[in-house]
């Protein structure tokens, strides 16, 4: 076991020990290393002012550069990785330009006014530039959705991004930077458990599954951390001190999405970014919801298993995965069991997880689901948590509905199936009247609450409308269009119209 974390910072090896385990990267950069280019705007993963780039090797050995919100990244999560901050991107070597191309385009297109957001935007561009993707005209909004600017109105920044050229063979200064980065990462690689702590608060990063299970069993009350896009906020927003944290991110094999005959098996450290392609195969609605999940930064750190294990009633994946009949696998030192995902959620904040057990995989059926649809309703289109999330999956034979799996988020204390609406549909003809009946049955399934995201009435109405939207989609019924400034339908009229 090592009590020092080792990582690469701006292409130099850095070793850190004797630090509280819940120290964030942003606080360390700014307060200990005096690297103050990365800014703190929100401290909760929303504004992107703290964006740095973390390079890791993918499962296949390829290097990938991830934009990461340093404000909710714990220091122990950097073990073995390479971090580049805004201070580290200036090109080095003979004939290299003064500014990095990602900085130069911001200058050329007046992409910076007060400058507070600028390092974060540049680092998001830098990650896309290194990876060679995310800079096509229709990708730029997604690439920059995790960075907020209050001054420019965004147009100059989007124009700057559009002007960035990515060469198939990077310039010489970048090739040598990448070579050195890879060499340093290979040099510091090892497979011992690492513990970062100050005697009171520890961050434990095991490298093997057995060591992980034993560490968790041996530390009752410890917090499992995956991408820290929830846990990070407990520290930065709730000012909680977490005595012991155990990280899934370094355990061999935990980052794998494995394909079996029937399932995708998604390990505990698989991020949303890494899972998207597999899970969304043949399911465009799932792809769209995952693309709107947080931001590039959140998807680069946040995990699929974290989105399940947190038990949130408004998580985006649970309703979709319940509708697809996914299962959750739980493991402990000497135990392993599986259950249908919907059974995992018992009540608000309560999941079916025994002491010492952790989520070791999510098993998502690969069978085609041509009738699967998912609709996310949030106040903002990008980078927002759902007010209501509806996922629908029917089996249909000879024009008759033979099976139904319908699940909602935001309608109850847990992600929950709509049992009465499902019952109303099963055995019915595939026609709009069946969905009108199912929309009415939702009133028996759910008693939603009013909170800052939506009122109970709004949630009820939206859920019923989503059921009708689904029915219209499957039956090919045209959706009534709103016209004029306020629309020609009174509130609630949509239901009567159909």
Ligand X SMILES: Cc1cc2nc3c(=O)[nH]c(=O)nc-3n(C[C@H](O)[C@H](O)[C@H](O)COP(=O)(O)OP(=O)(O)OC[C@H]3O[C@@H](n4cnc5c(N)ncnc54)[C@H](O)[C@@H]3O)c2cc1C
Q: Does 316 bind ligand X (CB under 6 A)?
A: yes
Task: Work out what residue 41 binds among ligand X, ligand FES, none; the CB cut-off runs from 5 to 8 Å by kind.
Answer: ligand FES
Nearest to 448 by CA among 409, 420, 422, 417: 409
Q: Choose the binding region for ligand X from 16-24, 43-51, 171-179, 364-372 (rule: CB under 6 A).
A: 43-51
Residue among 53, 122, 135, 225 that touches ligand X (CB under 6 A): 225
| CB of 295 vs ligand X, minimal distance in Å | 6
Among 84, 85, 124, 152, binds ligand FES (CB under 6 A): 152
Please, where are the H alpha helices in 349-498? 419-425, 432-445, 456-475, 493-497
Q: How far is the CB of 358 from ligand FES (least distance, A)?
A: 27
The entry of ligand FES, ligand X, none that residue 117 binds, CB within 5 to 8 Å by partner kind: ligand FES
Chain residues 93-122 in contact with ligand FES, contact rule CB under 6 A:
112-118
Choose between 130 and 385: whose C-beta lies nearer to ligand X: 385
x/- mask, ligand FES, residues 40-79, rule CB under 6 A, reads xxxx-xxxxxx------------------x-x--------
What are φ and ψ of residue 321, in 5° steps? -70, -30
- Quick one: tokens of 271? 């991020």
Nearer to ligand X, 270 or 394 (CB): 270
Binding mask 240-279 for ligand X (x = CB under 6 A): --------x-------------------x-----------
The item of ligand FES, ligand X, none sharing an interface with residue 252, based on CB under 5 to 8 Å by kind, is none
Q: What is the contact mask toward ligand X in residues 285 to 314, using x (rule: CB under 6 A)?
A: --------xx---x--xxx-xxx-xx----
Interacting partner of 115 out of ligand FES, ligand X, none (Cβ under 5 to 8 A depending on kind): ligand FES
Residue 89 interaction partner, one of ligand X, ligand FES, none, beta carbon < 5-8 Å per kind:
none
Any residues with CB less than 8 A from the CB of 465 and at least 6 apart, and which? 439, 494, 495
Q: Does 231 bind ligand X (CB under 6 A)?
A: yes
Residue 298 binds what, of ligand FES, ligand X, none (CB under 5 to 8 Å, by partner type)? ligand X
Q: In what order do the strands lie in the sheet with 257-259?
A: 257-259, 263-266, 358-365, 327-331, 336-340
SS (H, E, C) 132-201: CCCCCCCCHHHHHCCCCCCCCCCHHHHHHHHHCCCCCCCCHHHHHHHHHHHHHHHHHCCCCCEEEECCCC
Pick the closer one to ligand FES by CB: 298 or 309.
298
∠ CA 258-259-261, nearest 5°, is 145
Q: Is 168 exposed, middle or buried (0-12, 13-18, 19+ CB in 10 A)?
A: exposed
Cβ-proximal residues to 342 (8 Å cutoff; 6+ apart), any chain: 322, 407, 415, 416, 417
Give the residue from 226, 306, 255, 290 showing the smallest Cα distance to 57. Answer: 255
Among ligand X, ligand FES, none, partner that 313 touches (CB below 5 to 8 angstroms by kind):
none
| 3-state secondary structure labels for all residues of 307-365 | HHHCCCCCCCHHHHHHHCCCEEEEECCCCEEEEEHHHHEEECCEECCCCCCEEEEEEEE
Cβ 227 to ligand X shortest distance, Å: 3
Q: Is-contact 357 335, C-beta < 8 A?
A: yes
294-326 per-residue burial string, b: 16 or more CB within 10 A, e: under 16: bbbbbbbbbbbbbbbbbbbbbbbbbbbbbbbbb
Instruction: Give DSSP secondary structure letters for 81-130.
Output: -EEE-GGG-S--STT--SS-HHHHHHHHTT--SS-SSHHHHHHHHHHHHH
Report the partner that residue 411 touches, choosing among ligand X, ligand FES, none (CB closer than 5 to 8 A by kind).
none
Q: How far is the CB of 419 from ligand FES (least distance, A)?
A: 39
Task: State the Cα–Cα distance between residues 97 and 30, nearest whole angstrom.
Answer: 27
Residue 23 near which of ligand X, ligand FES, none (CB within 5-8 Å, type-dependent) = none
Q: Residue 230, interface with ligand X (CB under 6 A)?
A: yes
Q: Is 154 a binder of ligand FES (CB under 6 A)?
A: no
Q: Is 206 in the site for ligand X (CB under 6 A)?
A: no
Say how many residues touch ligand FES, by CB under 6 A: 23
Q: Return the residue of 217, 224, 280, 472 that touches ligand X, per CB under 6 A.
A: 224
Sites of contact with ligand FES (CB under 6 A) = 40-43, 45-50, 69, 71, 112-118, 149-152
Residues found near ligand X in the complex (CB under 6 A): 44-46, 223-231, 248, 268, 293-294, 298, 301-303, 305-307, 309-310, 315-316, 358-359, 385
């Amino acid at each position: 076991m090592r009590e020092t974390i080792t990582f690469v910072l701006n292409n130099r090896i850095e070793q850190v020990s004797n630090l509280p385990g819940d120290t964030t990267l942003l606080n360390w950069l700014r307060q200990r290393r005096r690297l103050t280019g990365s800014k703190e705007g929100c401290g909760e993963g929303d504004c992107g002012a703290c964006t740095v780039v973390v390079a890791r090797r993918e499962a296949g050995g390829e290097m990938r550069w991830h934009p990461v919100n340093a404000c909710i990244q714990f220091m122990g999560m950097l073990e073995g990785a390479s971090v580049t901050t805004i201070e580290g991107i200036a090109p080095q070597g003979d004939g290299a330009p003064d500014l990095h191309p990602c900085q130069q385009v911001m200058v050329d297109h007046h992409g910076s006014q007060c400058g507070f957001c600028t390092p974060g935007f540049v680092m998001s561009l830098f990650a896309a530039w290194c990876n060679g993707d995310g800079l096509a005209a229709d990708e730029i909004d997604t690439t920059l959705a995790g960075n907020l600017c209050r001054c420019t109105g965004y147009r100059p920044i989007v124009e700057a991004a559009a002007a960035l050229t990515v060469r198939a063979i990077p310039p010489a200064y970048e090739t040598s930077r990448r070579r050195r980065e890879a060499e340093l990462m290979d040099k510091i690689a090892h497979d011992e458990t690492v513990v970062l702590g100050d005697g009171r608060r520890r961050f434990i990063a095991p490298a093997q599954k057995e060591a992980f299970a034993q560490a968790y069993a041996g530390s009752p009350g410890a917090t499992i951390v995956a991408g820290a896009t929830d846990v990070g906020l407990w520290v930065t927003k709730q000012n909680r001190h977490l005595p012991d944290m155990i990280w899934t991110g370094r355990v061999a094999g935990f980052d794998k999405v494995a394909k079996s005959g029937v399932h995708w098996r998604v390990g505990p450290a698989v991020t949303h970014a890494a899972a998207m392609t597999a899970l969304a195969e043949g399911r465009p609605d799932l792809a769209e919801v995952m693309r709107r999940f947080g931001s590039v930064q959140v998807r680069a750190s946040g995990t699929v298993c974290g989105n399940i294990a947190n038990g949130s009633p408004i998580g985006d994946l649970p309703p979709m995965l319940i509708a697809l009949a996914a299962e959750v696998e739980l493991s402990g030192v000497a135990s392993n069991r599986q259950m249908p995902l919907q059974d995992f959620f018992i009540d608000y904040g309560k999941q079916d997880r025994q002491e010492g057990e952790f989520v070791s995989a999510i098993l998502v059926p690969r069978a085609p689901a041509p009738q699967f649809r998912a609709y996310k309703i949030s106040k903002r289109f990008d980078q927002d948590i759902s007010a209501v999330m509806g996922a629908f999956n029917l089996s249909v034979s000879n024009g008759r509905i033979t099976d139904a799996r319908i699940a909602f988020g935001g309608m109850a204390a847990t992600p929950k199936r709509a049992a009465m609406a499902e019952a109303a549909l099963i055995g019915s003809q595939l026609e709009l009247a069946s969905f009108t009946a199912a929309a009415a049955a939702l009133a028996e399934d759910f008693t939603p609450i009013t909170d800052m995201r939506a009122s109970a009435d709004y949630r009820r109405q939206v859920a019923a409308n989503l059921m009708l939207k689904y029915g219209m989609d499957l039956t090919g019924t045209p959706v009534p269009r709103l016209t004029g400034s306020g629309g020609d339908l009174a509130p609630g009229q949509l239901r009567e119209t159909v």
